[in-house]
Amino acid sequence: MIKMERIPDLYNKKEECCGCSACFSICPKMAISMMPDDEGFLYPLIDEAKCIQCYLCIKVCPLK
């Protein structure tokens, strides 16, 4: 199914995310989980079924 709006790309490369969890904290739908990578660093993962494309997570991100 094609959506009109896109799920936000919180980061493409790991350098674009410092793992601050601000996106996780602000998401009104609790659609973001902080998931550890192989080294235990946390990165956000969006549950596309919960996301309403409000983009608050992008606005709050200090690295955007």
Q: Which residues bind ligand SF4 (CB under 6 A)?
A: 8, 10-11, 17-23, 27, 29, 31-32, 44, 46, 51-57, 60-63
Q: Shortest gap between Cβ of 42 and ligand SF4 (angstroms)?
A: 7
Q: Shortest gap between Cβ of 18 and ligand SF4 (angstroms)?
A: 5
C-beta closer to ligand SF4: residue 2 or 3:
3
Q: Which residues of 33-45 are buried (b: 16+ CB within 10 A; e: fewer)?
A: eeeeeeeeebebe
Q: Shortest gap between Cβ of 39 and ligand SF4 (angstroms)?
A: 15
